[in-house]
Amino acid sequence: MKKSFIVFSLLLFFACNNSNHAKTNNNASLNNECCELLPCICNKDKTPIEELTIKKKMNAETICLRLDSLFSTRVKRGFNGNVLIAKNGVVVYKKSFGFENYSKKDSLTEDSKFQLASISKQFTAVAILKLIQEKKLSLLNTVDQYFTSFPYKNITIKCLLSHRSGLPEYMHVFSNKIKPFSITNNNEILKWFAEDRPPMAAPVETKFEYCNSNYCVLAAILEHVTGQDFASYMRQTIFLPLGMKNTYVLTTNDPSINVHRTFGYTPKWEMHDLDFFDGVVGDKGIFTTTLDMYTWSKMLKSECLLSQETIKEMFQPRSFEKPGRKNYGYGFRMLDPQSDTSKLIYHNGWWKGYNTSFYMSAFYDYTIIVLGNKYNRSIYQALPIIDILVGKVEDGSIEGEDGPQ
């Protein structure tokens, strides 16, 4: 009964209370016209005959069988979620495993919507870079130019995008603000920064330190510049034009968002309660499907929303304090960033039962999308999938870091 009340309260809050976000009279509806950029994104899609030829050439049937064997094993170990894997411009594997709503025993389908958790950061980064491309923002603008009470100086949009601001983690420093049956939002976080002035985690631009506060502040800047709440702007300017009709921010003011929405669960199928920080967006909070994420991956390989120059900057590594295989650009992680053949663009996510994984390789031309709604770390083990796609026999793992990422 308690969990049902909490879920109801959360849905009611998001349906009725957007008062603390930027004011707008044009909240994005799921029924708005869409897809103006979809022809651009799909102009390189293959015909059925071309797909068949490509699949035969790369022996897609064997790849599919190996992937199915891998995920069947993971299901036995607790994996519950949706998978979409593409190679050479065609989908080679797409499948749903388990439950959308465990209490009702509703099975997952390709229309099931998952919380992306920190994969949401790449959407925020693209939105900010689009505003920069339109000359409405600059990478060198500082936070205090938009919020005069912001207590830290010289923190630029560039610092926020690349996690080099030195800001403290809002979930940690404001944990004393948590109240039962309540949630907060981005503007409240900014207010608390101004009032409490928690010490910086590091001096500005001295090192990379992954921190959700950066993308919380970026979303607030977007709202300030556009005059729209983050959910409406993303829906109208990013999701709908790209044809991502099943993608939305958790705070979207539209009750129909709950169709095929999943719930997050513990490994023992205990549904996660409302979290005080669920209303903070930009660092997390986007729900989507594997099919919409595949559309998103196509956009990242095109010039349909961002120029190739901007995309190249987004994928440029910006952290070299510690030598290693991993790096970070703007909203995206990189593995082996200096190698053209092994470089991976990726991001993982974790939040309240949701584990998510998104990988792309330009050289090998594959996309891996794994979205889960029951906590299971196998979702972060990408290397066995990659080995199958590139024809290797040995399996291994690339583990994601813990925490909302």
Residues linked to residue 374 through DSSP beta bridges, in sequence order:
265
pLDDT (0 to 100) of residue 22 = 42
Round to whole Å and give the CA distance between 291 and 82.
10
pLDDT (0 to 100) of residue 394 = 52
**CA distances to 90, 125, 205 from 159, in Å:** 37, 12, 7
Round to whole Å and give the CA distance between 142 and 139.
8
Round to whole Å and give the CA distance between 238 and 126.
9
pLDDT (0 to 100) of residue 281 = 98
Region class of 181: left (phi > 0), else alpha (psi between -120 and 50), else beta = left
Round to whole Å and give the CA distance between 405 and 401.
7
pLDDT (0 to 100) of residue 98 = 98
DSSP string, 100-125: EETTTTEEP-TT-BEE-GGGHHHHHH
The tokens describing 192, both together, are 């608390």
Q: With residue 255 as reference, give the H or E element that holds it.
A: none
Residues of the chain with pLDDT under 70: 1-33, 393-405
Strand order from edge to edge, sheet including 354-361: 90-97, 81-87, 366-372, 354-361, 344-351, 333-335, 326-328
pLDDT (0 to 100) of residue 12 = 38
pLDDT (0 to 100) of residue 27 = 52
pLDDT (0 to 100) of residue 114 = 98
- The torsion angles phi and psi of 163, rounded to 5 degrees, stand at 60, 45
85 SS3 class: strand
The tokens describing 53, both together, are 């030829």
> Helices H, strands E: what count in the chain?
13, 12
Which amino acid would we find at residue 21? H
pLDDT (0 to 100) of residue 55 = 96
Round to whole Å and give the CA distance between 73 and 65.
12
What pTM, to 2 d.p., does this model score?
0.91
Strands (E) located in 280-353: 286-288, 326-328, 333-335, 344-351
pLDDT (0 to 100) of residue 10 = 46
The DSSP 8-state label assigned to residue 265 in this structure reads B
pLDDT (0 to 100) of residue 156 = 98
Pairing mode of beta strands 90-97, 81-87: antiparallel
Round to whole Å and give the CA distance between 315 and 125.
11
pLDDT (0 to 100) of residue 97 = 98
pLDDT (0 to 100) of residue 144 = 97
Q: With residue 296 as reference, give the H or E element that holds it.
A: helix 290-299
Round to whole Å and give the CA distance between 77 and 62.
23
Domains and CATH numbers, the chain: 2-24+36-390 (3.40.710.10)
All residues at 6 or more sequence positions from 193 whose CB lies less than 8 Å from its CB, including other chains: 150, 151, 152, 170
DSSP string, 23-51: P-S-PPPTTS---TTHHHHGGGPPPHHHH
pLDDT (0 to 100) of residue 341 = 84
- The residue length of the chain stands at 405
Residues linked to residue 347 through DSSP beta bridges, in sequence order:
358
Alpha helices in 134-211 (DSSP H): 157-161, 170-173, 186-196
